A and B are shown apart, each in its own frame.
Chain A
Amino acid sequence: MHYESPVRQPLILGDKSYNQITEDVVRPIENAAPRSWWMVFSIALVMFLWGVGCLAYTVGTGIGVWGLNKTVGWAWDITNFVWWVGIGHAGTLISAVLLLFRQRWRMAINRSAEAMTIFSVIQAGLFPVFHMGRVWMAYWVLPIPNQFGSLWVNFNSPLLWDVFAISTYLSVSVVFWYVGLIPDFAMVRDRAVNPVQKHIYKVLSFGWGGKAKAWQRFEEVSLVLAGLATPLVLSVHTIVSMDFATSVIPGWHTTIFPPYFVAGAIFSGFAMVQTLLLIVRKVFKMEDYITVQHIEMMNIIIMVTGSIVGVAYITELFIAWYSGVEYEQYAFLNRATGPYWWAYWSMMTCNVFSPQFMWFKKLRTNLVFTFVISIVVNIGMWFERFVIIVTSLHRDYLPSSWSMFSPSFVDVGIFVGTIGFFFVLFLLYARTFPVIAQAELKTILKTSGEAQKKHHSDHGAHH
């Protein structure tokens, strides 16, 4: 009944019981935070507060405090927006696409990956909102009559598509995440001794009791949400890429953008999942659940999507030459050899070259190496967006208005602030939420637990 081929490696190491899984998952919640947690949290909080200060300065003084100029009207803000949204994609990919493909290894990592999605989409959303300048007018993007007269939002505009895509993505990701969290919060509630803690988890768990009918609906709802989230996640970065692709700027006006952006998003998102989970598994002693096999699987995805991104870069170059359009040709020549050559070649090295190391099993199962590559990939993906946005704009059709972009301290401060905000949210999550979807994980213990598999092969599988 619980047979799985011995060829498949166990997903849960050691001799675990259902109760042991419970104990391991609640340990970070019930115990005091380690010193290292407080240290990292303090650093993140300082970064976050610095970012809040820079945002306040921006709102108080105006967008002029950023490094933008007449020629380069989009730079770090949109770079950061696209970078953060892209990072978010891996979470949905793990929880939705891998659910549809029945990949059981997702169960140990989907909770944290979805948390990462939600927290990074929050960071992403800040940039376009503050780029509006007058943030108190942000509600103008909603389909209500502008100025409460009768002028409506423009549904032909990719920027408005973005508003709908990002808000749908964020809100659907939140409910998807929360539906899965309810049973796990109930588990924490039922164990809690401290009355304050018990009350908080009672509120969070919505009274969940694990009734048979509720579980049946739970599984159906998870499946349907996965089915909805899969095209949704692909649509989000497609629409983000249309912000560029529907314009007539050389280097932006290309039909390859949607698939190229989606592949890049998954690539950078998995790199961020690696960065976070390598720390989580170490600090919270989750090595039996987030195994080397999980890390290896994600490295393979990084390798594949990194190679897709590489093919996209080369295709872009080829098409620029093949199109015969001299503006397009110049845009790419300028990227590779112009004043921003260093950004272009950083992008190429980090995104195309570095993931190729993952062809070697020794390297993709090496945790330190994986950690380094995961950071390198995220730097590379930041440069990709910077290259696409700034190098296409800074030398436009009119050479007299050519210019360069250099970020002001406010640009840097806001970016640093979002990194701080992201880690503040993630660190709070890691201390108070069950970081592993324990209820789901228990369903695969008998088939994929190490001790259970061994027991099976020793006693023969005659069912």
Chain B
Amino acid sequence: MAHTTEPTPVVRALYHDDDVLISAVKEIRAAGYKISEVYTPFPVHGLDKAMGLKETRIAMAAFMYGLLGLTVAVTLTWYMMISDWPQNIGGKPNINWGMNMPAFVPILFELTVFFAAHLMVWTYLVINGLYPGADAQNPDPRTTDDYFMVELPAADGLVDVLKKSGAVEIAEA
């Protein structure tokens, strides 16, 4: 398997319109070619479906992080106010956590949101490979302005399909 270290040549096709891009993605896939990546300057609605991308599960992750935050808040308030150093504060009942719980609702809520939001964003940055100073992921700087790029492994007859789909520029690398 020595040849696997060799980079497979890729073809990059640029489009100048999001509607043309969507129909091109559909045509390319219908012709049996596999698209490896699409770079766009803004979220093109329907592109993920046209490319056949799976739905993201990040919202589910956020929910789990929220539950974690809630658990942390319950543990924190229980340990500090009930278990470790109980005090009579304004006559609020603190025989057990449940009786004192109404006073903790703001804390329970804030920590749930805090954990859900921050851990979700950390997850988002990590799975997208985003960090301060990372090299630009897009091969062509025009794709953050008004160009749309489809990247796919080189194959026979591909260039013709791309040309026919409305690509304004095709390059092999």
Contact = CB atoms under 8 A, between A and B. Distances in A.
Given A164-B107, A207-B129, A235-B106, A143 B80 contact: yes
- What's the interface size class on A, roughly? 35 or more
Nearest to A20: B146
Interface string B88-129: 011010000000100110110111011011101100110111
Nearest to B69: A168
Nearest to A186: B144
B106 A215 contact: no
Interface stretch (A218-226, A260-268, A315-323): A218-226
B116 A210 contact: no
Interface string A198-233: 000011111111111111111111011100110110
A195 B106 CA distance: 48
B128 A214 contact: yes
Interface in A1-43: 1-2, 17-19, 22
A224 B58 contact: yes
B43 A215 contact: yes
Given A190-B142, A212-B53, A224 B100 contact: no
Contacts of A221: 58, 120-121, 124
How many of chain B's residues touch chain A, expressed as a range? 35 or more
Given A152-B85, A207-B135, A164 B106 contact: yes
Given A155-B107, A172-B114, A217 B58 contact: yes
A87 interface: no
Nearest to B37: A211
Given A202-B133, A207-B136, A217 B127 contact: yes
B50 to A, nearest CB: 9
A202 B136 contact: yes
B43 A217 contact: no
Interface in A131-180: 143, 150-158, 160-161, 164-165, 168, 171-172, 175-176, 179
Nearest to B79: A152
Contacts of B143: 190, 209-210
B159 interface: no
B58 to A, nearest CB: 5
B134 A211 contact: no
Contact of B130 (A207, A219, A225): A207
Contact of B145 (A19, A154, A161, A202): A19
Nearest to B122: A175
Contacts of A446: 18
B37 A208 contact: no
Contacts of B110: 161, 164-165, 168, 232, 235
Given A18-B146, A211-B37, A150 B84 contact: yes
Contacts of B131: 206-207
Given A164-B111, A217-B128, A220-B56, A171 B118 contact: yes
Given A156-B81, A221-B124, A189 B136 contact: yes
B42 A212 contact: no
A172 B118 contact: yes
Contact of A156 (B103, B125, B146): B103
Contacts of A224: 58-59, 62, 116, 120
A453 interface: no
Interface stretch (A48-56, A327-335, A355-363, A437-445): A437-445
Given A156-B100, A216-B53, A209 B39 contact: yes
A86 interface: no
A439 B43 contact: yes
B9 interface: no
A186 B114 CA distance: 27
A187 interface: yes
A73 B45 CA distance: 56
Given A155-B103, A210-B40, A443-B42, A175 B121 contact: yes
B35 to A, nearest CB: 9
B76 interface: yes
List the 3 closest A-B pairs by CB distance, nearest first.
Answer: A209-B137, A207-B134, A190-B141
10 contacts: A154-B81, A155-B76, A175-B121, A187-B41, A190-B136, A210-B39, A210-B42, A231-B109, A239-B106, A443-B42
Given A19-B145, A155-B77, A214-B137, 13 more contacts: A18-B145, A18-B146, A150-B84, A150-B85, A154-B81, A172-B113, A175-B118, A182-B130, A189-B144, A190-B145, A191-B141, A209-B138, A440-B43
